[in-house]
């Protein structure tokens, strides 16, 4: 098996076409063993510990293992099946065990500790100091100083958590895939855009059904909730979406949520922290739960009055238009869109013909070229895991390779909802060679239909720019050590490059680069551009309140002892009390499908979206002052933010770029919540 297993051979780009599902488990097992031998070589060294023979040597271990697991876990998100999910259930505990073996290895920790204690005498660079600090803390924060019995407890908690998080995610995906709303009466399609109707007809055909099928996948769900005139069907779809993992059946996530929250708390206590949030935030810009809660409360104080006013206006609007006496959650998107159309005479459906996916891709590439001198060439000799995936060579102004870039744009049954960026190969400088990264973005955009290419909503345009911002952070990385490269930064800093890029979508200068009518080639009318800009802060109070509610729910789960929580729904209702606008729906629950915090890496970190918005609004204001494509400002952003990864404290990097700390009011001004 070893000889034939492509994952155990050296490879440049991921060898997708050669990989069979059965290759993963033996490859990961073998690579764990090989990495252990690399670690043994460090601990068995008779030389006294030094930065080079211990810290840098440890950084260089497990290269192939990291690459193979990156391939595996992205496939488990972007192109999964039952077989891959079963392997994930076996692989996760193996990796969790391996990580614990590493972090609870006393001889290894003692060597790192020796270097750490002597750090003042070593004349290390900033990046070397950061690496040493990060390594030492990763041991200390994961139990290296615990007595043996507590180390075993920690190991068991980590194993259980890795399995529970996987199960949580599998349940959410299964719930998403299971639900189907089949419409057979054409009048029930009233209000829906032509593209959404075509897409629904194609989905029904794929499933061997007559009629139009809507699902909980975003490109199907969002248009239905935004445009469908049939209120009862909107309610039906909304209740299905809001009750994922909350049916008391085999796919129910309530116990998983409680167990994950409790295990995280037990783990934090074991390591000497007051809560999981205290543990997590020690390694964030925000530093403490108190600071996060103060930040959320401060934002809430400023957003709540605006949100309440917007909600009251929306309620009046729905009442006058359709006699709705009580606005429900399934009415929000529908009447917001109607009100927006009336106020700005702006309809997403009017805009979509100007946002053909291939033109938007060209647009985002042009922005990257104008800002950072990058060129993107689509290539067809790079292996991919699905025919939908596009592959590009990215080069700089001198024609040197900057990165390999993968993009996967459309929904499929084996792909989870949402959009994300991932890395198949990290940038690093190894043996004097600057190894360039392999970066991927995965999205779920409206598919082409028989009569139309893929046309994006404006929201999808901003999503593409957002994920591409993350991709640039990965592509333009230029550090020595891979664990400090690209997006390996504090979690509340990682959204700055993605969120700042969204700003360009609202600018006339940018839209003129790519917003052409897919049939006529006509440039987007200037009045639309003005309206996009005007409507950017429409219902911003409600949107801000929604984001704050998610951050507050996250902190409620993770900033105190969850052991007394018996009822997930009742607890969630309490956490939402201060941000509530719509009546509560007893049969829905957000926590049971809140993948960001119970499966992904955002536990005690959801606030970071808003935190990074403060950074991005403040940073973008410099581009607004100096010029949208000002090469000096872009050069500073690349030099101090994009290329530096996690090599030093993010606030230091930000100050080097901006010349000062961020001004929180920049966000509130941009959002129209401060005059």
Give the contacts of 504 (CB within 8 A, at least 6 positions apart). Answer: 367, 465, 510, 628
Residue 535 maps to a domain:
no
State whether 547 and 587 are in the same domain.
yes
pLDDT given at position 529: 87
Closest CA to 143 of 153, 133, 130, 134: 153
Pick the last residue of a domain from 553, 583, 601. 601
Tokens in use for 617?
A: 């609004």
Closest CA to 61 of 28, 38, 43: 38
pLDDT given at position 600: 82
Q: What's the alpha-carbon Rg for the chain, to the nearest Å?
A: 25
State whether 327 and 438 are in the same domain.
no
State whether 478 and 574 are in the same domain.
no
Instruction: List pLDDT tens digits, range 591-613.
Output: 999 999 999 889 999 999 899 99
What is the pTM for the complete model shown? 0.85
Residue 252 maps to a domain:
no
State whether 49 and 137 are in the same domain.
yes
Q: Is 56 exposed, middle or buried (0-12, 13-18, 19+ CB in 10 A)?
A: middle
Closest CA to 218 of 241, 197, 198: 241
Residue 75 maps to a domain:
yes
CA 107 to chain centre: 36
- Strand partners of residue 212: 183
pLDDT given at position 675: 64
CA 159 to chain centre: 24
* CATH assignment of the domain containing 58: 1.20.1050.40
Which residue numbers in the chain have pLDDT < 50? 1
Residue 140 maps to a domain:
yes
pLDDT given at position 1: 47
pLDDT given at position 104: 86
Residue 369 maps to a domain:
yes
State whether 360 and 508 are in the same domain.
yes
State whether 183 and 94 are in the same domain.
no
pLDDT given at position 645: 97
- CA-to-CA distance for 336 and 322, rounded, in angstroms? 14
Residue 169 maps to a domain:
no
* CATH assignment of the domain containing 437: 1.10.1370.40
- CA-to-CA distance for 42 and 57, rounded, in angstroms? 7
State whether 362 and 346 are in the same domain.
no
State the DSSP code for 62.
Answer: T
CA distances from 511 to 366, 517, 539, 600 (A): 11, 12, 23, 33
Residue 465 maps to a domain:
yes
- CA-to-CA distance for 355 and 476, rounded, in angstroms? 27
State whether 405 and 442 are in the same domain.
yes
Q: What are phi and psi of 287, to 5 degrees?
A: 75, -45
State whether 31 and 139 are in the same domain.
yes
Residue 154 maps to a domain:
no
On whether the CB atoms of residues 111 and 196 are closer than 8 A, the answer is no
∠ at Cα 226 (225, 227), nearest 5°? 100
- 3-class state of residue 490 by DSSP: coil
Pick the last residue of a domain from 585, 601, 617. 601
- Strand partners of residue 441: 407, 421
State whether 393 and 324 are in the same domain.
no
State the DSSP code for 524.
Answer: P
pLDDT given at position 3: 60
Q: Are strands 438-442 and 390-395 parallel, antiparallel or unpaired?
A: unpaired
Instruction: List pLDDT tens digits, range 615-627.
Output: 999 999 999 999 9
- Domain extent, residue 201, equals 179-242
Pick the last residue of a domain from 601, 620, 639. 601
Counting the structural domains of the chain, the total is 4
Instruction: List pLDDT tens digits, range 241-299.
Output: 999 999 999 999 999 999 999 999 999 999 999 999 999 999 999 999 999 999 999 99
- CA-to-CA distance for 215 and 444, rounded, in angstroms? 13
* CATH assignment of the domain containing 339: 1.10.1370.10
State whether 361 and 399 are in the same domain.
yes
Give the active site residues: 467
State whether 409 and 492 are in the same domain.
yes
Tokens in use for 353?
A: 């013909």
């Amino acid at each position: 098996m070893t000889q034939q297993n492509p994952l155990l051979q050296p490879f440049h780009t991921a060898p997708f076409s050669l990989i069979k599902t059965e290759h993963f488990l033996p490859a990961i097992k073998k690579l764990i063993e090989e990495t252990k031998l690399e670690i043994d070589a460090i601990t068995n060294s008779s030389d006294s510990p030094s930065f080079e023979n211990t810290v840098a040597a440890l950084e260089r271990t497990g290269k192939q293992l990291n690459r193979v697991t990156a391939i595996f876990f992205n496939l488990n998100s972007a192109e999964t099946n039952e077989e891959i999910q079963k392997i994930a259930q076996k692989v996760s505990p193996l990796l969790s065990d391996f990580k614990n073996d590493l972090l609870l290895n006393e001889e290894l920790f003692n060597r790192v500790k020796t270097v750490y204690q002597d750090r003042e005498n070593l004349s290390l660079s900033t990046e070397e100091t950061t690496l040493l600090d990060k390594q030492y803390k990763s041991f200390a924060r994961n139990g290296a100083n615990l007595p043996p019995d507590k180390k075993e407890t920690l190991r068991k908690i980590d194993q259980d958590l890795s399995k529970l998080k996987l199960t949580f995610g599998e349940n959410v995906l299964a719930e998403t895939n299971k639900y189907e709303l089949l419409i057979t009466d054409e009048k029930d399609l009233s209000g829906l855009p032509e593209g959404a109707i075509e897409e629904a007809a194609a989905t029904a055909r794929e499933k061997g059904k007559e009629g139009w099928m809507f699902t909980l996948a975003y490109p199907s769900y969002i248009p239905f909730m935004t445009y469908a005139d049939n209120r009862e069907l909107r309610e039906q779809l909304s209740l299905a979406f809001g009750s994922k993992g909350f049916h008391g059946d085999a796919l129910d996530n309530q116990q998983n949520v409680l167990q994950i929250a409790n295990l995280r708390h037990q783990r934090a206590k074991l390591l000497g922290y007051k809560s999981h949030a205290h543990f997590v935030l020690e390694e964030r810009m925000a530093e403490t739960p108190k600071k996060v809660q103060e930040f959320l409360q401060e934002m809430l104080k400023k957003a709540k009055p605006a949100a309440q006013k917007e909600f009251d206006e929306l309620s009046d609007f729905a009442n006058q238009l359709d006699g709705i006496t009580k606005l429900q959650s399934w009415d929000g998107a529908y009447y917001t869109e109607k009100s927006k159309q009336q106020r700005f005479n702006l309809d997403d459906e009017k805009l979509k013909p100007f946002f053909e996916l291939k033109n938007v891709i060209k647009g985002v590439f042009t922005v990257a070229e104008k800002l950072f001198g990058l060129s993107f060439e689509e290539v067809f000799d790079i292996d991919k895991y699905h025919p939908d995936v596009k592959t590009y060579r990215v080069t700089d102004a001198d024609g040197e390779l900057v990165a390999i870039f993968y993009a996967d744009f459309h929904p499929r049954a084996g792909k989870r909802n949402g959009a994300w960026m991932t890395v198949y190969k990290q940038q690093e400088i190894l043996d004097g060679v600057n190894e360039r990264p392999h970066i991927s973005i995965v999205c779920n955009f409206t598919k082409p239909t028989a009569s139309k290419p893929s046309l994006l909503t404006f929201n999808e345009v901003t999503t593409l720019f957002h994920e591409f911002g993350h991709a640039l952070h990965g592509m333009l990385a230029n550090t020595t050590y891979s664990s400090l490269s690209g997006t390996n930064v504090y979690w509340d800093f990682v959204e700055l490059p993605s969120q700042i890029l969204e700003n360009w979508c609202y600018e006339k200068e940018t839209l003129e680069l790519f917003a052409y009518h897919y049939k006529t080639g006509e440039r987007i009318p200037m009045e639309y551009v003005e309206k996009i800009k005007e409507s950017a802060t429409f219902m911003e109070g409600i949107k801000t309140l929604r984001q704050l509610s998610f951050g507050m729910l996250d902190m409620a789960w993770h900033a105190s002892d969850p052991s007394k929580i018996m009822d997930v729904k009742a607890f969630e209702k309490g956490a939402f009390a201060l941000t509530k606008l719509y009546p509560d729906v007893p049969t829905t629950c957000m926590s049971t499908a809140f993948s960001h915090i119970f499966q992904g890496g955002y536990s005690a970190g959801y606030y970071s979206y808003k935190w990074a918005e403060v950074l991005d609004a403040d940073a973008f204001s410099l581009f607004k002052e100096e010029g949208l494509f000002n090469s000096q400002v872009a050069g500073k952003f690349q030099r101090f933010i994009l290329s530096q990864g996690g090599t030093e404290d993010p606030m230091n990097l930000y100050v080097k770029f901006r010349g000062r700390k961020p001004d929180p009011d920049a966000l509130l001004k941009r959002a129209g919540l401060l005059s």
